[in-house]
Amino acid sequence: MNLVRNESNIDRIIRVVIGIVAIVAGAAIGGVGLAVGVVVGLIMLVTATVGFCPIYSALGLSTAPKDAIE
């Protein structure tokens, strides 16, 4: 399965920030908040790392520059 990048660099940076904030906020809340924060945070960090968002793909969206799309 070939994953085509569908996130711009700015999108990826925003995802990293949101991922870190979600994990920290979840840790501050504790309990179920911790679980939710970690899950959301990890999803954001993984999609930022690989540059591919399955939801964007399902909706036919992309924030990547046209030359980055193969």
pLDDT digits (tens, 9 = 90+) for 19-60: 999 999 999 999 999 999 999 999 999 999 999 999 998 999
Asked if residue 70 belongs to a domain, the reply is no
**Whole-number Å distance between alpha carbons of 35 and 22:** 10
Structure token digits, residue 33: 């908040």
Q: Which domain holds residue 58?
A: 9-62
Specify the pLDDT at position 30: 92
User: Taking a C-beta distance cutoff of 8 angstroms, is the pair 53, 47 a contact?
Assistant: yes
Specify the pLDDT at position 4: 84
**Whole-number Å distance between alpha carbons of 5 and 11:** 12
Q: What total number of domains does the chain contain?
A: 1
CB-CB neighbours of 14 under 10 Å: 15
Asked if residue 22 belongs to a domain, the reply is yes
Asked if residue 53 belongs to a domain, the reply is yes
